[in-house]
Each structure stands twice: as structure tokens, then as C-alpha cells.
Structure 1
Amino acid sequence: MNKQSEMNYEILCIGGANVDRKIQTINQLKFETSNPASNTVSYGGVARNIAETLGRLGINTGLLGFVGADFEGEWLLRHTKKFVDINPTEIIQGKVTGTYTAVLDPDGQMAIAFADMAIYDEVEAQFIEKKWHHLKKAEIVLLDMNFPKDLIVEVIERCSLEKKQVCIATVSAPKVEKLPEALDGVTWLIANQKEAEAIAKIEITTEGDFFRAAEMILKRGAERVVITRGESGLIYFTKAGEAGALFPPEIPVHDVTGAGDSLIAGILFGYLKGLSTEDACKIGISCSMITIQSNETVNPLLNQQVLLETFQKYFCLQVNQR
């Protein structure tokens, strides 16, 4: 990875690098009683998941995250460095690597999840200045919402000032409160329905509400907005006037964990290849479809060829390799 670290990044992913624990109930979930279940442990974290996915797709990617000086942190980095330059990531002595625990129903749908991200509260105020040389090497900066608000605002504002493209992965509805009011310089903002409601400050109940929420986010300064709708696909809306809704084909679902992260990675992959917003979103859906057919947060069978074959099978389009 030393040779790779000397190169410019196509994408630098900043944010969460966690251990994912998934507990899936065998029968319908019942509260206030014991539920028979199976459990798995896998590599996780929004920024880390996106970084690994992009690395598997052949994109030169770096990861700027925080892990503890513990077994979990070492385990995460040992795996991640196979696909991603982990040199920007910091190992924090005396702190515990972040964890994400999801409880899934028998169909693989998330019932509830718990996130222990206390380690990100340890990020120093001078962190961005200290790490800026890594950001300078990136064509696109992917930023999730796990770092403290002041640092998130600093990254967005400084990238805007230096004309560097930024993609925001919102992570969760409570964490979107960390976003600045002005989103100027944000090239992509990708959120689910609850996160979009929190950003736009409206309730989404109809098809039109999705586009109204996206329009309100565009008015705050973002260039392209994607709002995901679970099994109903997504909508996209851009300042350039591109708008539409995309619906995924029906396929078997093993586990939805990581589906949103792979969608973002797929969209950025398509964008880097010069595709339109619509086709980049179709690539994102294709990437997500591959993820939900695996019990892993990032499908170990994923590569560029598998993604393009899935894209062509379900969306009947061709992609010119860059």
C-alpha cells in the first residue's frame, strides 16, 4: 500500500470504520422475550464500507478514519488494506473501535440498530489541518456524518473554497443535524427518507414530497440529491434539471445491511466513469442488489465485471470502460 499512498486518490472516504454485528431472528421478532437467532460479525462503517466497495471496483481509494488500538481495529485495518490505502487512518490509544449492531427480521430487514461511535468524539480540532495533504490528493471527498459537527463543517467549507468535489453520506436522521445550513460545494448528497425529512424539515408522505424535499436540499446549495426509498428504489434531482424515479427489480434479499453504502459507492463509480445522473444511480442500484444477496456488509464476490453484468442484465444498457 505504500506505493498506492504516493498516488492521488480518485476518492478519499472520511468517516466511520466499525465492526458490524448482525443478529437475525429465526422467527418473527417479539419484544420483551427471548428470540431464537443467529449472529455474524463483519467489517463495517459507512465510509469504510464505501471505500472497500470502490476498491473492489478498481477505484483508487483512501480511507481517513479512526479506530481503537484494539483487536477489532487491527482486524478491520488488516482486511481493509487489501482494497484501500489506509495510511490516512489514525489508531487511537486507549479507545474502543466503533461498533454497529443490527437486529434483522427473518427476511433480512433491519428491525433496530445500535451504534457505539464514541471514539469519534476524540477527533482533535486540528485534525483536518493535520490531514489536509490527504484531502488535497483526492478527486472526490466522500464524507459521512460520524465526525463532530465542527469538523464536518470545516471539510465542506474548505473543499468548497478549494473547488474540491464532496459527496455527503448522511448515515442517520439525528446525524444530519451536523450539516451546515449552506451546502454550497456539495456535489452529491445521498440520504434515505428519514434523513431527507430531517434535512428538508418536511414530512414525506407522497411521491411529490420526495421531489419537494430534494428541491429544498438543492436550494441549500447541493448540486445533486438522491433520496432512497428502500424497496421502492430512489429519486434523484439535480440543479441541472435532471430528475426521475428509479425502481429496483425484485430479487431475493439475504441481508440489507450495507445496501445504502454500496448504492453510494456505485453512484460514485458511475459518476467517475462519466455517466449521467440517471445511469450513475442505476449503477448504484445494481451495486446495492449485489450487496443484499450476501450476508456480508460488502459482498466478497463484488468486482467491476460482476457489477457491469448486473447493470446490463437489469437495466439493458452498456457502459464504456474509462
Structure 2
Amino acid sequence: MTGKTILVMGGAHVDRRGRIAGETAPGASNPGAWFVEAGGGAFNAARNLARLGRTVRLVSPRGGDADGAIVAAAAEAAGVEDTPFTFLDRATPSYTAIIERDGNLVIALADMELYRLFSPRRLQQRAMREAVAAAGLILTDANLPAETLAAMAAAARAAGVPIAGIAISPAKVPRFAASFSALAFLFMNEAEARTLAGVAPEDPADWPKALRAAGLCAGVVTRGGRGVVAFDAEKAVLVTPPEAPALADVTGAGDSLASGFLDAWMAGHDIGEALRHGVAAAAITVRSPLAVAEEMSQAALQAALSLVPEAEGMA
């Protein structure tokens, strides 16, 4: 394991994806198949970081049910120290989606109510204060309430610990608004970035300016298969992802990009090289049918990195 503990506090739940086998028949029974795996932006990133050799501790609300056992087993398999808040009479959060044969979403249901119970008061517990003080980095996501994210950012700042966030969705990313000045980085896609900036620049070089104007000091914007943008207070860079020979599933790609980026950044690399590592980690994930690729490792990352072009500086 490498360096200080990365303390991850955020979404850790179960994803269910049902894929319809034939043409979709609304209002009727459709033949198909279910796929179930652990998910959640913060949890996906936590497992990737652990597979990359980092010491990772997870804190997240969980129910006392079979879904909670799925999350616990996934944490153990990845080498993540799992320390949940368990509510025996509640259901573990879950995301259930019905997907057409061509991959388009028909409908989804997100049962995330339990995350509301991760209140700012939890952070005042002695064990949590000690965990924050001992961390080398805190990683969270917008599954948690806005007031909890703000309290977390304040606690990190007081302890002198960097904190990074994962946007999750356009609807949830505004929960980070009160924490912008404290975030070392916020990882988001273009739709989430547009929600924050209020605009969608045609030139990717304009994303840093638009997001800085919204109050964000540093961030990373993914753009599908197009160039990924990263910026901080000093500079902005762009890395173009290599052509993927075969896409198994893009689920979790953004979370793995955050993992590769943060692993390199904590090792002392600048944002250009960190972004290259992030793009390499995402390339490994999109070749896997899982949200967290079982083959993720430093060796696999170095092999993927050889295909990633150098970062381009942007004005």
C-alpha cells in the first residue's frame, strides 16, 4: 500500500441493469437479463485506487440487507477498508435501470434516501475527526447532502487535507456549490459542467474560464471520446483519449479517470501528467464489462499510459 490513507465518503450502493433482449414493447413483459454489481461514484473510485496500490478507507451509509452484503463483498475484494454507518432497519441505496437492446435507457429508479442520514453531525464524531486528520486525501461525491459536503470541505480545510469531488449527475452537482473554494479538484462530464457554468463552450479551451467564473478553482471535464480538460489555478491542459479497440461498457469510466488522476497527483505529478494517468485508467475500464475493471493495477496502467498522448497546454 502507498502513502497516507485516502478517506472516501460518498455513494456506495448496488446497481441493477436490466437489458431488453428484443424490440422494446412498452406496457408489456419484455424478455431480457439482469446484471447486478456494486456501484456509486465514490465507491468505484475507491476500488480503483485500492487496486492501484493506495490505502483506502470507505465511510458510507448502508442498510442491513442483502444489498449491503454485496457492497461489503466488493469492498473486501478490492482491498478497501470498509467502515460503514449501518442502519439495520433500512434498505441500502440502489440504482435500477431498464436498458433497450441498443443500450439506450428506457427508465431508471434511484433509491438514495439513506444518504440523507449522512448528516454533518456524523463528521463531529471523534472517530471521524481522527480519520479526517489522518488522511492524505478526502474523496467524496454529490450523492451526499449539500450541507454534509460543505461540512466535509470545512473539516478538510481545517485539517489541511485536500478534498476532491465527483459530480455524479447534472441534478446533483450543484450540491458542491458551497464547497467550490475548498475543492482540490471536481470531476465532471460536459453536462454536469454546463449545469455549473450555465454555458457550453464550443471550444474546450473555454471550459476553464467558464468554470472559474462560476467559482470553481480546479477541475476535470470529460467529453466522451474527445479531449479531456483539466485546470487548476495556474494552468489548463487537454489530453485526447486514444482510440478504443472495443468498448465493453462505459459505466464507471469517469470514476476510474478520477482515480488515475488522483493517484498520479498524490505521487507529485503535475495536472498534465495526472490527466494522462486518468485517461489511461479510463481506457482500461471501458474495455471491461464491469464498472471497476478487475485488471486495474499499476502494471496495467503503465501499459495503457504508453498509448496516451502528451498533454497539450491551453491558454
CA distance in structure 2 between the partners assigned to 1:280 and 1:287 by the alignment: 11
Change (3 A) 1:109 1:216: farther
1:62 and 2:41 matched: no
Q: Output the amino acid matched with 1:85.
A: E
Q: CA deviation at 1:78?
A: 2.5
Q: In 1, are the aligned partners of 2:241 and 2:308 still within 8 Å (CA)?
A: no
Paired residues for 1:5-20 under 5 Å: 9-20=4-15
Paired residues for 1:206-245 under 5 Å: 206-217=203-214, 220-222=215-217, 224-245=218-239
CA distance in structure 1 between the partners assigned to 2:303 and 2:23 by the alignment: 35
Q: CA deviation at 1:8?
A: 7.6
Q: Which moved more, 1:55-64 or 1:118-127?
A: 118-127
Change (3 A) 1:249 1:41: same
Q: In 1, are the aligned partners of 2:3 and 2:54 still within 8 Å (CA)?
A: no
> What is the match of residue 45 of structure 2?
50
Q: Output the amino acid matched with 1:183.
A: F
Q: Which moved more, 1:61-70 or 1:158-167?
A: 158-167
Change (3 A) 1:182 1:258: closer
Q: Unpaired runs of 5+ in structure 1?
A: 318-322
Change (3 A) 1:276 1:41: same
Q: CA deviation at 1:106?
A: 4.7
1:161 and 2:158 matched: yes
Q: CA deviation at 1:92?
A: 1.1
Q: In 2, are the aligned partners of 1:225 and 1:236 still within 8 Å (CA)?
A: yes
CA distance in structure 1 between the partners assigned to 2:58 and 2:11 by the alignment: 9
- DSSP 3-state at the match of 1:126: helix
CA distance in structure 2 between the partners assigned to 1:314 and 1:44 by the alignment: 27
Deviations, residues 37-83 of structure 1 (Å, cap 9, x unaligned)? 33210111111111111111110111011110111102211331241
Change (3 A) 1:112 1:227: farther
1:265 and 2:259 matched: yes
- DSSP 3-state at the match of 1:63: strand
> What is the match of residue 276 of structure 2?
282
1:299 and 2:259 matched: no
Q: CA deviation at 1:11?
A: 1.1
CA distance in structure 2 between the partners assigned to 1:8 and 1:245 by the alignment: 27
Q: In 1, are the aligned partners of 2:133 and 2:159 still within 8 Å (CA)?
A: no
CA distance in structure 1 between the partners assigned to 2:39 and 2:155 by the alignment: 28
Q: Output the amino acid matched with 1:146.
A: N
- DSSP 3-state at the match of 1:180: helix
CA distance in structure 2 between the partners assigned to 1:289 and 1:8 by the alignment: 25
Paired residues for 1:176-255 under 5 Å: 176-181=173-178, 183-217=180-214, 220-222=215-217, 224-255=218-249
Q: CA deviation at 1:243?
A: 2.6
CA distance in structure 1 between the partners assigned to 2:285 and 2:55 by the alignment: 20
Q: In 2, are the aligned partners of 1:99 and 1:115 still within 8 Å (CA)?
A: yes
Q: Output the amino acid matched with 1:197.
A: R
Change (3 A) 1:167 1:135: same
Q: Unpaired runs of 5+ in structure 2?
A: none
CA distance in structure 1 between the partners assigned to 2:120 and 2:137 by the alignment: 23
Q: In 1, are the aligned partners of 2:57 and 2:81 still within 8 Å (CA)?
A: yes
CA distance in structure 1 between the partners assigned to 2:24 and 2:256 by the alignment: 27
> What is the match of residue 146 of structure 1?
143
Q: Output the amino acid matched with 1:257.
A: T
Change (3 A) 1:37 1:64: same
Q: In 1, are the aligned partners of 2:170 and 2:192 still within 8 Å (CA)?
A: yes
Q: CA deviation at 1:249?
A: 2.1
Of residues 12, 18, 26, the one that matches 1:23 is 18
Q: CA deviation at 1:184?
A: 1.8
Q: CA deviation at 1:299?
A: 1.0
Q: Which moved more, 1:99-108 or 1:239-248?
A: 99-108
Q: CA deviation at 1:118?
A: 0.8
Q: Output the amino acid matched with 1:68.
A: G
Q: In 1, are the aligned partners of 2:20 and 2:31 still within 8 Å (CA)?
A: yes
Q: CA deviation at 1:170?
A: 0.9
